[in-house]
Amino acid sequence: MKVLLLLFTITVASAIKRFDGEQVLRIFPKDERQLQELVKLEMTEARLDFWKRPGGLSRPVDVRVPKDLLTHMKKLLGNTGIQYTVMIDDLQQLINNQTSTLKGDIFDEYNNYEELQNFAHEYPSLTTLFNIGSTYEGRDIKAIRVGAPGTNKVAVFLEGQIHSREWIVSATLLYNIKFLLEDYGLVEHITELMNKVDFYFVPVTNPDGYIYTMNHVSYRFICAKGGSSNYPCADTYHGPRAFSEVETQSLSEWVKAKGQNIKAYLAVHSYSQLWMSPYGWTSEVPKDYDDLQSLAKKAVSALAAVHGTKFDHGSIPRLLYIASGGSIDWAYNVAGIKYSYAIELRDTGRYGFILPADQIEPSAEEFYAALKVVAEHIAKEFST
């Protein structure tokens, strides 16, 4: 067990990129011409890092701009009449502030998984660690089952951090593992829930990308029909074909093998505070849309009750834009998992992907409230 848990540890690459003087701009397109200017810019200027892509006139666009492009970028926006604000004035300073204010508790820091070893030793009857496959670079993709012993139990599957820079995702999921294990036997409704439901966590689905900040993956169901790019250097590159990466191949094969038990699939991302349902590839909605939205509404209500954090819910195109190649379309249509959601955690853009570590615990607490709602619902609907 110790060997398996130690394999959860992920070390950060020794070469550390700095972002001194880089800014994140929030841009507000006011008409279709301005929106298309931003779309063109995203496709032609590879050095710009679009944290929030151009998706509609009602949605701001967040862009990380290298220091040597700032003057040119701001002049370009000014010449085209596109309004913007500086969301992050100095990205490196924000990173420095984040890393200098850690609390000391390992769960309140990013990039640390060693504590899982202690919890698994403490709760051997409630946890099982296993591999779901290997990455392109040969790293194990580790998963952990959390739940009381039992057979043919319904399950929630949580896909975490398939996009490497969304660090709050794995931190939030690890905290939720901690919450479940500590609550079992002490909190009656959690004990009853874990007797009925298994939770399969994959805190880091893309460990290669996590280490090297690369995140180009896609799923087979309606791939490359919109909202993705055929430009290999683009953040939204869909790959040469569906399931082109071994990470998504491994994940899909494992999920299909367990498909009869998995009744909820939560693909967890950041940032934007959204709880989204299929489809992503089309503005049409699936036959279970009303049920999906009913549960989503209950989940985000429970989440908001913890710290007052507001999440919007709806289909992906209604909240963002057409986005094909996502795992929840595949999970819903191919794997047959009714309650499939893509979730964007904190925040709405003040910090973006550089969310301070002091927000890990509150993010985890509010997500835990929503997770319990989902698990209780599938236990009621599907348990025999």
Query: pLDDT tens digits for 79-120?
Result: 999 999 999 999 999 888 766 555 556 688 776 555 555 666
Mean pLDDT of the 134-140 span = 88
Q: From residue 220, give the alpha-carbon distance in Å to each of 180, 188, 197, 319.
A: 33, 41, 28, 23
Using the predicted structure, report yes or no on whether residue 16 has a pLDDT greater than 80: no
What's the CATH superfamily of 23-97?
Metallocarboxypeptidase-like (3.30.70.340)
Which residues, listed in sequence order, are joined to residue 341 by a DSSP beta bridge?
Answer: 266
Instruction: Identify any residues that bridge with 199 across adjacent strands, giving them in sequence order.
Output: 146, 156
Q: Residues 287, 294: contact at Cβ < 8 Å?
A: no
Residue 249 exposed, middle or buried by CB count within 10 Å (0-12, 13-18, 19+): middle
Active-site residue, 245 included: no
Q: What does the alpha-carbon distance between residue 102 and residue 170 come to, in Å, rounded to a whole number?
A: 16
Numbers of helices and strands, H then E, in the chain:
13, 12
pTM (two decimals) = 0.84
Percent of the chain with pLDDT over 90: 62
Strand partners, 2: none
Distance CA 147, CA 207 (A): 25
Over residues 287-312, the mean pLDDT reads 98
Task: Name the strand (E) or helix (H) holding 122.
Answer: helix 115-122
Q: Would you state the pLDDT for residue 110? A: 75
Residues of the chain with CATH 3.30.70.340: 23-97
Compute the mean pLDDT over every residue in the chain, rounded to the nearest whole number.
Answer: 84
With the CA atoms of 362, 368, 374 and 379 taken in that order, what torsion angle do they form, in degrees rounded to the nearest 10? Answer: -170
Burial of 15 (0-12, 13-18, 19+ CB in 10 A): exposed
| CA separation for the pair 74, 219 (Å, rounded) | 36
Name the H helices within 46-102.
Answer: 70-79, 91-99
| CA–CA dist 258, 255 (Å, integer) | 5
- What does the pLDDT read at residue 232? 46
Q: Are 137 and 247 in contact (CB under 8 A)?
A: no
Q: 3 in helix, strand or coil?
A: helix
Please pick, among 253, 344, 365, 381, the residue that the annotation labels catalytic. Answer: 344
Superfamily of domain 104-382: Zn peptidases (3.40.630.10)
Q: Is 140 helix (H, G, I), strand (E, B) or coil?
A: strand
Residue 346 and residue 355 in contact, taking contact as beta carbons nearer than 8 Å: yes
Structure confidence by residue, pLDDT tens digits, 57-82: 878 999 999 999 999 999 999 999 99
Residues of the chain with CATH 3.40.630.10: 104-382
Assigned token pair, 190:
């959690």
| Tokens at 38, concatenated | 């931003």
**pLDDT of 103:** 52
Q: How far apart are CA 166 and CA 290, in angstroms?
A: 29
As a whole number, mean pLDDT of residues 279-287 equals 92
